[in-house]
Each structure stands twice: as C-alpha cells, then as structure tokens.
Structure 1
Amino acid sequence: MTWENAMNKERRGEECMYEDFKAMVNECDNIVFFGGAGVSTESGIPDFRSADTGIYSEKNNYEYPPEVILSHTFFMEHTEKFYEFYKSKMIYKDAKANNAHKALARLEEEGKLKAVVTQNVDGLHQMAGSKNVIELHGTIHKNYCLNCSEAFDLDYVLNSPEIVPKCNKCNGIIKPYVVLYEEPLDSYTIEEAVKYIKNAQMLIIGGTSLAVYPAAGLVQYYRGDKLVLINKSATPYDKNANLVINDSIGKVLGSLFED
C-alpha cells in the first residue's frame, strides 16, 4: 500500500468515526458530558499530567511538588506559599471558551444535553453558555472566609493587596471554593452527577485520562449503550466504550455543527 493510499484509508476511517458520533448524537435527547482538564487545554490552560506541558511535569522554582502544594494540609500550614502557586498556576483569567465548550452549550440549548459534569474549576463551560454544570472539584470563581463564611469573587482574591486575601468583614483567611487534595468531594454534587450519568441515554467522556478518583469512578454508573470516549491518549475505559475517538475534543465536538 502506498503512503497516499494509507493516508486516504486513515482519513476515511476518521470520517466514519465522526459520522457514527454525529449519528449517535442526533438520535439521543438525553446526553450527559463528563469532562476533564483536556477540555480546557485548547483555551490555553495546561492540564496536570501531560508529559511535556502538564503542571505536574513542568520545571518550577517551588520546593514542593504541586500535589503537595494543592493539599488541604499545605493550605493550612503554608498559606502564603499556596497562594503564590495557586495564583500563578491555577488561574487563567483571560482564557476564553473554545469550540468544545461552545458545542456543548449549543447541545444544551437544543435540549439534547442535560448536564455537563466537569473536573475543571475554570468556569469556561458557563462562559460558553452552559447552564447545568456540575463542578466536581469546585470553582476558582467562588471563595469564602474560613472564619465567617462571607463569599468573595475571583477579582477580590486577585486584587488583594496581600498575597493571602483576607475577609473585609472579620479579617479571616479566604479559601478558594476548590476541592484540594485530602478534601472530600461535596456529597450533593456527587449525587447530582450520579443521577444524570445513571439516567443518561448517551454519555460522552472527553479530555480526561480517567485516572483521578473518586471522580473517574462515576463512569461506572452509566447503564446505556452509547458510551463515547474522546481523548488524545488511551484511557482505562476504552475497552468499555462503544466509540473511541483519539483526537482534539474541540475538533470532534465542533464537527457536530459543521455543514
């Protein structure tokens, strides 16, 4: 087989996968999307575990690894160092919603997508227009005082004159509404995610290695026969999927609305 024929065969195979995906979406009116960091990489936000660009793999000047810095214990014991890392590595205020976020918002607007279950904390799904977003790991856009529970937005944290933002009512330390290592996921949030996934006609999983638990375990609640995995690399659940597409999630989801 010539190189050109091999490329044509690969292209035809890709086209078939995209057509199958579009056909599955067209025949469903109860779709749930479950996504991870890979959904936002096309918006310029690095994921955690990619070999070359992940936050955990890049060289930095911190004396502790990211997994330690982003833990509850570290936040409580080294709050200033936590915020130095958090503000520089976890917040991308200028990031914009990409084609994946926009496609999901459009599916929801058309009544086909019932919920987005996300491991991301960046708020880009809401920026794109999605309404029913279940944020498993919280959000950078909400913050609260550990002392009096007063709520604060992201701008308040970023505009704080001190590295560690303090409450303007009681001077208590402000904590991001983000689930850190050693902290449990919110039980109500988990229950909502399970409800939508269990009742879904179609479950689309995208931009996640499905390696972080307990979030990854939610996939086991799906009972349907239209499980689609969209990820650039393989996942432990590929063998259970009805369709696996190893490609850009923005490209794949965006293709749903191409003429």
Structure 2
Amino acid sequence: MKLQKLKKLIKESNNIVFFGGAGVSTESGIPDFRSAQGIHNSDSGFGYSPEEILSYSFFTKHPDIFYKFYKDKIIHRDAKPNPAHQTLAKLEQQGKLKAVITQNVDALHQKAGSKNVLELHGSIYRNHCLKCDKYHSLDYIIKARATPECQSCQGIIKPDVTLYEESLNMDIIEKAITYISKADMLIVGGTSLTVYPAAHLIEYYQGNKLVVINKHHTQYDWKAFLCINKGIGDVFKKVLDS
C-alpha cells in the first residue's frame, strides 16, 4: 500500500528533490557512521576515537594517522551504485527530479548518472593542497605511501571532505535551500536526520508531500505525508522495476 502511494506521488510530481544520507550507500557496501556497526562505533586501531580522528584539528596535528584511517574507512572507490542511486538518476532523466542533496562523499549518485548533485560534505574525489591549492586526484591520494604532499610545493594535501570542526560550504547550503523551498515533493532517504546543520534543511520545505524512507524512525516522521521504514535501495528497486 505504501509503495503504491509513493509511486502515485512520484507520478503526480514534477519538481522532486531528494535529500539523502549514509543509508543510501550502505546497500553499496559502504558503512554508515552511527549504527551499531557504523564507523563511530568501531575501534580505530590507533588509540583515538573515529570522531576525533575525523576532526580538522586532528588532521593538522596527526595527518599520518588521519590518512591511514581515512584510506581504510572512508575511501570505497570500488563501491557501485545501488537501485536507490539508479532510480534517482532515472527520475532526473525523466525531468521529475530537480536535485539530489547528499551528505555522502562517495560520488555514487554521479556514477549512477545523476547530474545535479549537491554534496553537503564534499567528495573524496576532490583534494587540494593547503599551501598552494593545487588539485590532486583520488588516485594520487591512494598511491601516496605516507601523508600525501603536493607535487608543486610539498604542502599537505587535504581531502575536500568536511571534517568535524569545519563549516559546510554556504554556496551549497544556499542552493539546497532554494531547491527544497521550491520542491513540490521532498523525498528524504537513508538518513537519521540527526546531523546538523544538514538535517535542518528539510525545515525549508513548504509543500505537503514529504516522504521519509529510512530503516528506523526519525524525529521528522510526524511531519511526513508518507513514512516507509525500510531500506531505501529495496524500496527504490521496486519503483525502478515498475
């Protein structure tokens, strides 16, 4: 019944925006952060908590440890898009979906074919020297045996991934607010909606077709027109196959 409602809402809508979190990529084999098996609840192996390692201050003090953890836990270059990514790309191709707003840094939406993707927390595929701002590829980061250094100035390279203690890109935030505020349908999927300020963005939605798809309940379920407590990949696979 709920799946039929979702299909009907999508069919009737022409300005859909999707807001997603880590749960969108878990079905591609990428671990989330806050579940029992998530990164934050794992042993870093370095005597520091994962949250501490993924902070900007730790990166500046111990870039060697940061990169060992980052390469092992955050980079998943071989991960493939799942039905959630594929369905969203298809909806964009149909002209229904106007934007994907994601908290993920894996670029799986782009790999699936989505064009208009707003990456709130950056991307593992972009890396810049902190000294001269020169761009370096993900391959360059992976191949570096120790802390990656700039080829031009030997400065330390930082991934364009938002770490703890860093602010989000305000240009991306403003674009996300614009898309959400104009949407006739907002689909929120694979996120617990507990990470701020990103989670606050759905407050800008002014329509009456808010759909929340997540394995567990969220604090915004009461606002939703439709809640589906299942994995988003499973749900969207049925939408894609219909």
TM range (shorter): over 0.9
Distance of aligned partners of 1:180 and 1:60 in 2 relative to their CA distance in 1, 3 Å threshold: closer
Question: Contact 2:42–2:50 at 8 Å: present in 1 too?
Answer: no
Q: 1:96 aligns with which of 62, 66, 80?
A: 80
Q: 1:213 aligns with which of 163, 181, 196?
A: 196
Any idea what SS the aligned residue of 2:207 has? coil
Any idea what SS the aligned residue of 1:56 has? helix
Deviation of 1:225 after TM superposition, in Å, equals 0.3
Mapped partners of 1:186, 1:39: distance in 2: 22
**What is the aligned-residue RMSD (CA, Å)?**
0.7
Tell which deviates more after alignment, 103-112 or 248-257.
248-257
Q: 1:64 aligns with which of 48, 56, 62?
A: 48
Cα deviation per residue 1:104-149 (whole Å; 9 max; x = unaligned)?
0000000000000000000000000000000000000000000000
Structure showing greater radius of gyration is: 1
TM-score of the superposed pair, with normalisation by structure 1: 0.92
What code does the residue aligned with 2:39 have?
I
Deviation of 1:59 after TM superposition, in Å, equals 3.0
**Is 1:20 equivalent to 2:5 in the alignment?**
yes
Mapped partners of 1:192, 1:149: distance in 2: 24
Residue matched to 1:36: 21
Q: Give the paired residue count.
A: 242
Any idea what SS the aligned residue of 1:40 has? helix
Q: Within 5 Å, give how 1:1-259 maps onto structure 2.
A: 16-51=1-36, 53-160=37-144, 162-259=145-242
Deviation of 1:82 after TM superposition, in Å, equals 0.6
Mapped partners of 1:240, 1:62: distance in 2: 42
Any idea what SS the aligned residue of 2:164 has? coil
Deviation of 1:258 after TM superposition, in Å, equals 2.1
What code does the residue aligned with 2:38 have?
G
Mapped partners of 1:102, 1:73: distance in 2: 37
What code does the residue aligned with 2:215 have?
K
Mapped partners of 2:161, 2:240: distance in 1: 33
Cα deviation per residue 1:50-82 (whole Å; 9 max; x = unaligned)?
11x201112341211111100010000111111
TM-score of the superposed pair, with normalisation by structure 2: 0.99
Mapped partners of 1:68, 1:23: distance in 2: 44
What code does the residue aligned with 1:227 have?
L
Question: Contact 2:23–2:191 at 8 Å: present in 1 too?
Answer: yes
Residue matched to 1:4: none
Unaligned runs of 5+ in 1: 1-15
Mapped partners of 1:98, 1:20: distance in 2: 22
Mapped partners of 1:251, 1:86: distance in 2: 29
Deviation of 1:47 after TM superposition, in Å, equals 0.1
Mapped partners of 2:239, 2:152: distance in 1: 49
Mapped partners of 1:153, 1:238: distance in 2: 40
Any idea what SS the aligned residue of 2:211 has? strand
Mapped partners of 1:258, 1:99: distance in 2: 10
Any idea what SS the aligned residue of 1:43 has? coil
Deviation of 1:251 after TM superposition, in Å, equals 1.4
What code does the residue aligned with 1:129 have?
G
Mapped partners of 1:248, 1:67: distance in 2: 25
Question: Contact 2:213–2:229 at 8 Å: present in 1 too?
Answer: yes
